[in-house]
Amino acid sequence: SFSHRFISPSDLPAATPTLLLLHGTGGNEHDLIPIGRELMPHAALLSPRGRVLERGMPRFFRRFAEGVFDIDDIKRQAAALNEFLDAAATAYSFDRQRVIAVGYSNGANIAAALLLLHGAVLAGAVLLRPMTPLVPEPLPDLAGVPVLVVAGKYDGLVTTAETERLAGLLQTAGATVTLAMLEQGHQLSQEDIRIAREWLQAGH
């Protein structure tokens, strides 16, 4: 399981999705709560803490070096996160079919891994500064799953080619991908929040 925070919806549960908030390296389950609130004020928020520690910093999977991922651990952690979603939906009585991930950096990478390895287990995903966590064989069926990818043109960690590689992979799997390229670096900005909010409000 995962240490986590859950915030009940302030609307009827049937009226809103649940946002799955996935923090970046060195973050925790508290970090993205304010952003979740801004993105969807009435939605339920489910915010787990990554179970891997890298020199004291929580993450959602192991890496051997910057950008060099431990694929076996990604598979283990994505499976555990998927099981956690099932268990949390039962424990907190939210609709398992209506979970939308909002992940930043390492959190975006585990959200992408969840989709690439387990298929349409999310109703949608907002991926802020993601990389390509792995290339699954075969590709999953992501038909109809909306995914927003928000990249930074001046991101020193994630190249444009890397962003396009992930967007292409998701698209080939059938996802409906929207790609936004901001005049930003790797850090989140108000513009990320605005774009994500508008995309979510448009009904994804």
Whole-number Å distance between alpha carbons of 30 and 187: 17
Q: Is position 159 an interface residue for ligand MLT (rule: CB under 6 A)?
A: no
What tokens were used for 87? 């268990």
Q: How far is the CB of 109 from ligand MLT (least distance, A)?
A: 4
- Radius of gyration over every alpha carbon of the chain, rounded to an integer in angstroms: 15
Whole-number Cα distances in Å, 145 to 93, 166, 187, 197: 23, 15, 26, 17
To the query of whether residue 155 is one of the catalytic residues in this protein, the response is yes
Whole-number Cα distances in Å, 180 to 8, 47, 56, 126, 185: 30, 24, 32, 11, 13
Q: How far is the CB of 41 from ligand MLT (least distance, A)?
A: 28
Q: Is position 63 an interface residue for ligand MLT (rule: CB under 6 A)?
A: yes
To the query of whether residue 186 is one of the catalytic residues in this protein, the response is yes
Q: Is position 105 an interface residue for ligand MLT (rule: CB under 6 A)?
A: yes
Q: How far is the CB of 197 from ligand MLT (least distance, A)?
A: 23
Q: How far is the CB of 201 from ligand MLT (least distance, A)?
A: 27
Q: Which residues of 75-111 are buried (b: 16+ CB within 10 A; e: fewer)?
A: bebbebbeebbeebbeeeebeeebbbbbbbbbbbbbb
Other C-beta atoms within 10 Å of 179: how many?
17
| Active-site choice (31, 105, 192, 204) | 105
| Residue nearer to ligand MLT on the CB measure, 172 or 187 | 187
User: According to CB under 6 A, which one of 16, 106, 132, 163 is a site residue for ligand MLT?
Assistant: 106
User: What would the x/- binding string for ligand MLT be over residues 5 to 34, using CB under 6 A?
Assistant: -------------------xx---------
**Residue span binding ligand MLT (CB under 6 A) among the ranges 59-67, 93-101, 145-153, 188-196:** 59-67
